[in-house]
Structure 1
């Protein structure tokens, strides 16, 4: 395993550290996958730039102000929080429960000038909770991490703003919430040092060209290349990026000549509001009607399940594929793909058929979005299995002319649809964003 191409590529992507969009590490990774794709024989390799506000935190300190300061260990600044003034920002705290709309509706001006304390997870994303807190005049947002997990970084503000947004440990959050419930006044001081700049990350793109009358039709095979800056971004999503690179290598190694063009895309800025995939969809509107399927690989692990937003006929085609892969333990049910938790979302919203392959990550799955997301967390054998399953799927979809390109409006997902929460339970072991 240590000498496999996939392992070497994953190690190379992890070595610089986190691949935060717009940073030098991200540019190194963009060039690496593009050079490797060309080495493996892919054609039309290029980088597509897009503009976005970039951000990186360098220091975060949260303390509870009392007779003696009580630090909240392990606190993390959430994306797009600007640096606080010297000495930080101090404010009293108000508990707003889960941070859902009904929780904020109960307020009567009490939040103005206070930090909103909310629980992580639930029906709403952190950015939605942040937006509501700002509407009520909050001084900032303090998110309580879920139990039994280190604080998990993610996005709060859509663009850089001065109101601090942080996540603290479950234990510290519970202590603060209990003090508030007992009628105590809790005051926090938040200090953050961060950098914000206008950047131009790149989506990396390369192809296996199609041959014959259907060569203008496409299968897209995608993964996000970016990660947070806390560690190496191995689980999220170095392994997914390495999987689609290995898929490309394997298909070219057998000199396959697909009927349709297979385009591989490594997106940047998935972690920051899906900006890379949204930029791609906006720039390639004239090609969307020629896409048969967009396959998105995000934290794959050992292959266990398929989901799609496609038609009943496409679902049946995936069932046929699943039955032919009897050597792998793929779930019998094909899940319904929905939600905005990864780069499939802009395509599905535009009516393109989305597909994703999910898997069991093992104990390492708990490391994503934390300082523990390192190369050693990846189950390499399981990841190679995902690359093998993906290669077979890509080959079948690219050569099956019974499948037609074209767009359809995304339908209303059934109760069993894949959402960030259900993806957590079945394949990723932890929530997204």
Structure 2
């Protein structure tokens, strides 16, 4: 990044956008500077423009004029949005179901992560509509400030870290709304065996796969580090990075049927976790 470039004497740094499609859409994100290097201007160019620059450089020296407009505005007070369905037998034990509210402002944040918030809310709504009675508390969280420093997650950790032992499991949906094909698991391998009946149900819709991952959600990472079992849906992500962090991240990219499929998968897993007879291994 820019710090490595600055150590080599660069006066500015441009990277090729990391998005997955060639629609001349620059991909945005956070720039992190190292403490031991000058802070030089940095930006991302589209894939097409990156190719053009490469071709020009092959022909000889290239001069560029950069006009960059980012600015760091003052922090303002904002909030996580939290709602509980109280458990009927173990209300002190909590299952987190979540997505994050904030987004980059190039688009409207439908893929990243309006979809995750909608999926989490609808999962709880489905459980209510079906008049199911979870034994443990289901806590829906719409996290604030995932993109710019995880302030909402950090505040929740500050407020609840003494209660991690009562956080039975945590789930985050932050990969868009593509067709779900299974569940990512951050936890002990024994968890898969305990979830076998649930996975069999999910497999009827093609969502019974599992993947053990080192990390499943940015906002639930403090709970991951405390060995709280963590989950996220495995989704068809072939097109996710075409739109992620670009001006094309708008509501028209969301397929309602696939959004509903994700809600169903999250609802099934959430209710199963809330009613398991034994604790998950840590």
* CA drift at 1:254: 3.1
The answer to whether the 8 A contact 2:87-2:137 is kept is yes
Q: Which residue among 286, 293, 313 is the counterpart of 2:190? A: 313
Confirm whether residue 148 of structure 1 aligns to residue 22 of structure 2: yes
* CA drift at 1:246: 0.8
Any gaps of 5 or more consecutive residues in structure 2?
A: none
Confirm whether residue 352 of structure 1 aligns to residue 224 of structure 2: no
* CA drift at 1:371: 1.0
1:324-381 Cα distance to aligned partner (Å, 9 max, x none) = 223211253x212224863233321232211001222675762221111111110100
The aligned length equals 275
Give the match for residue 277 of structure 1. 153
TM-score, normalised with respect to structure 2? 0.86
* CA drift at 1:157: 3.0
Could you tell me how far apart the structure 2 residues matched to 1:248 and 1:270 are? Answer: 22
* CA drift at 1:383: 0.6
Could you tell me how far apart the structure 2 residues matched to 1:200 and 1:286 are? Answer: 24
TM-score, normalised with respect to structure 1? 0.58
* CA drift at 1:131: 3.8
Give the match for residue 172 of structure 2. 296
Confirm whether residue 169 of structure 1 aligns to residue 46 of structure 2: yes
Give the match for residue 139 of structure 1. 11
Structure 1 residues 135 and 343: CA distance shift in structure 2, 3 A: farther
Could you tell me how far apart the structure 2 residues matched to 1:376 and 1:183 are? Answer: 43
Could you tell me how far apart the structure 1 residues matched to 2:207 and 2:73 are? Answer: 43
Give the match for residue 389 of structure 1. 265
Confirm whether residue 234 of structure 1 aligns to residue 106 of structure 2: no
The answer to whether the 8 A contact 1:361-1:378 is kept is no
**Richer in strand (by share):** 1
What's the Cα RMSD here? 2.6
Could you tell me how far apart the structure 2 residues matched to 1:358 and 1:340 are? Answer: 10
The answer to whether the 8 A contact 1:362-1:379 is kept is no
Give the match for residue 422 of structure 1. none
* CA drift at 1:225: 1.3
Greater Rg, structure 1 or structure 2? 1
Give the match for residue 118 of structure 1. none
* CA drift at 1:306: 0.9
* CA drift at 1:196: 1.2
Could you tell me how far apart the structure 2 residues matched to 1:134 and 1:282 are? Answer: 36
Q: Which residue among 60, 70, 82 is the counterpart of 1:205? A: 82
Could you tell me how far apart the structure 1 residues matched to 2:274 and 2:117 are? Answer: 20
Give the match for residue 126 of structure 2. 250
Could you tell me how far apart the structure 2 residues matched to 1:344 and 1:210 are? Answer: 21
Could you tell me how far apart the structure 1 residues matched to 2:277 and 2:235 are? Answer: 28
* CA drift at 1:168: 0.5
Q: Which range moves more in the overlay, 339-348 or 373-382? A: 339-348
* CA drift at 1:193: 5.0
Q: Which range moves more in the overlay, 297-306 or 178-187? A: 178-187
The higher-RCO structure (CA 8 Å, 6+ apart) is: 2
